Amino acid sequence: MFLTRARIALPDPASVVTPLCAHLVEHEAVVETGPGEARIALAGATATLRYDDAQLEVAVEAAELAALTSLRFAVASHVVEFAPDGKQLRIHWEGDGAGPSLLPGFRVLTVAAIETVTPHMRRIHFAGEDLARYDSLEALHVRLFIPPAGLAEPAWPMLGEDGLPIAPPEDKRPAIRKYTIRSIDAAAGRLAIDFVLHDDAGPGAAFAARAQPGDQVGMAGPGGRGLQSAGRYVFLADATGLPAVGRMLAALPAQATGLAIVEVAGPEEEQALARPEGVTLRWLHRAEGAPSCLAEAFEALDWPADGPDTYLWAAMEHADFLRIRAGARERLRRDRDRHLVVSYWRAGLAEDQHAADKKAAAAKAA
């Protein structure tokens, strides 16, 4: 069992512990409270918080160091968030995992092999350790930390002695981009990620174009919603959503039925995708500069009211996302797990700005 402790001088700790516990309950923690004490169990770790009028004592224990580090980070970051002048607090952890360490769940991947799938799709095979947490169809996406080109020694984000993140120097700071795990063999320590290559390359596409065996990236996650069980499946995607569709099709049970519609630049960008015999694969071709046909394809589909329970998964450019999401809400059951329609990119915007816009829209909706 791993154990770490900290004592934090803090006026009125109860005013910090109460919202901290409430917040972690929203993230599936199990919390028990009593006079001057709280016990938090989350993801294989347990934190015991004891406090009086001027001090908070925290003890975190877990069977695995990664689980301990993760809950330690959750407690420390929310103490800082909820305490007045929290950024001025001094937090020093003692015991297991003390001192600087990688972020919880962070993995360093090394390029093992490079495969050209189509003229504009490159598959990079990575080697890494302890990948089991990423082997899930319920969360397909990861954040890749891509070092600047030519950097001999990558500088990864770390946790300091206070359990809080330390950003690398700006000139060594990795770019962070979201990608889909195309395939994974956790036991062998291997996974593959597909990159779309294009002329106005961002950090991800530029890395894929120059990558050589031995190059490294960082990875954190996983996240996002993925495949759900259903009587019938419908997938719609452009090239950016194709890796996720390919992975989910290969994982469907042999008796599955449904339809996958994928839009790519032309016949040369089509791929051989493993799938059950009952799932039809339809390719759409979109010439450069031409409008997408995915929304029209969706609107032409038949959704019989008495048919099998259908799960819709769709990912594409923002304009089509808006049309398809609106149509899905009208035509399909409103259950949260019955359809997932997401925007992977937005014409004319870099990925950073698109992500910022999505976050702002989500906050406004909430």
Pairing, β 55-62 against β 2-9:
antiparallel
Higher pLDDT, 364 or 254: 254
The pTM of this model reads 0.77
Going edge to edge, which strands form the sheet with 258-264? 279-285, 258-264, 232-237, 310-317, 339-345
209 in the same domain as 276 = no
Of 194, 223, 252, the position where a domain reaches its end is 223
17 in the same domain as 112 = no
51 in the same domain as 147 = no
Q: Are 91 and 98 in contact (CB under 8 A)?
A: no
360 in the same domain as 251 = yes
Of 64, 80, 98, the position where a domain reaches its end is 98
Longest dimension (CA), the chain: 70
119 in the same domain as 38 = no
Of residues 268, 299, 308, 264, the one with CA closest to residue 283: 264
> At CA 98, angle to CA 93 and CA 104, rounded to 5?
100
304 in the same domain as 260 = yes
**CATH number of the CATH domain containing 183:** 2.40.30.10
**How would residue 336 be classed by pLDDT, with cut points 50, 70 and 90?**
low
128 in the same domain as 52 = no
Q: Please check the confidence at residue 163 and state whether its pLDDT lies above 50.
A: yes
CA distance 239 to 179: 12
79 in the same domain as 124 = no
Per-residue pLDDT of 85-133, as tens digits, reads 877 888 889 998 877 888 777 899 999 999 999 999 999 999 999 999 8
**CATH number of the CATH domain containing 258:** 3.40.50.80
Domain that holds residue 340: 232-365
Q: Provide the 10 A C-beta neighbour count for residue 317.
A: 21
User: For the chain, what is the mean pLDDT?
Assistant: 87
Number of domains present in the structure of the chain: 3
Per-residue pLDDT of 216-269, as tens digits, reads 999 998 887 778 888 899 999 999 999 999 999 999 999 999 999 999 999 999
186 in the same domain as 259 = no
Q: Which residue has the tokens 């495969």?
A: 115
162 in the same domain as 60 = no
Please give the pLDDT value at position 351: 52
